[in-house]
Amino acid sequence: MIRIASNVHPDGIGYKGTDVQYLFASKTMTSTFKRDQIEFTYPETWQLSDTFEDDPLSGEVSLETPEGGFWTLVVFPPDVDAAELLDNAKQGLVDQYQDVEFQVSTSLLDEVYPSIGTDAFFYCLDFLVTANLSVISMPGQTLVVCCQAESREFDEKRDVFAAITSSLLKNLT
């Protein structure tokens, strides 16, 4: 279970999430994606693409960083098994890349919904790549969030990835 951290900004402004997520959300994430119940903020320099059709319970939206990393959200109906989704996502990485290593997730989330996840590490074109896979079970839908980038970029963008996911979950509550 992931918890909500209710904090108060030093200026006295109440918010949800960590100090870093607050700062990113208020200073660098100036673009907004909104489609039916899905809404989140993201940096304006990131490229957005989505495949949401008429069904709000299925679709995909991706953000690509200028350096090539990405944050992807895939929406499934609520009755889809979260563990099976995570296993399928992990298998997809194994099928595409050799020698994928998985470890317990260093979750990018700080909210109230049950979630499972994993971190993955693999090489692609001589670059070490880091990915974080999270499956979040919600009353009306199941969300899969994947953040992936070359390891140095991932470390630099970790807080931005977390802020995007936090803004998504905040808008769903």
Is the model's pLDDT at 154 over the cut of 90? yes
Q: In terms of pLDDT, which residue wins out, 55 or 136?
A: 136
Instruction: Note the pLDDT of residue 4.
Output: 32
3-class SS shares of the chain: helix, strand, coil, % to 5? 25, 40, 35
Q: What is the pTM of this model?
A: 0.80
Q: How far apart are CA 133 and CA 45, in angstroms?
A: 23
- Helical (H) or strand (E) element with 88: helix 82-96
Would you state the pLDDT for residue 109? Answer: 59
pLDDT digits (tens, 9 = 90+) for 3-23: 333 333 333 333 344 444 444
Number of other CB atoms surrounding residue 70 within 10 Å: 18
Structural domains of the chain, with CATH:
6-172 (3.40.1000.10)
Distance CA 153, CA 138 (A): 30
Comparing C-alpha atoms, which of 49, 94, 101, 70 is closest to residue 164? 70
Average pLDDT, stretch 39-56?
A: 85
C-alpha 17, offset from chain centre: 14
Q: What is the pLDDT of residues 96-151, one digit of tens each?
A: 998 999 998 866 555 567 789 999 999 998 899 999 999 998 888 899 999 999 99
Residues 36-50, mean pLDDT to the nearest whole number = 91
Residue 31 has pLDDT above 90, yes or no: yes
Q: Which of 9-23, 47-61, 64-78, 114-128 has the lowest mean pLDDT?
A: 9-23
Return mean pLDDT, the chain.
81
Mean predicted confidence (pLDDT) in 77-90? 93
Query: What token pair was written down for 34?
Result: 């909104």
In one-letter notation, the amino acid at residue 117 is G
CA distance 143 to 85: 9
Q: In the β-sheet with 115-124, what is the strand arrangement from edge to edge?
A: 47-50, 59-64, 70-76, 142-150, 127-137, 115-124, 101-104
Q: What value does the mean pLDDT take over residues 72-80?
A: 92
Residue 46 token pair: 């990131």
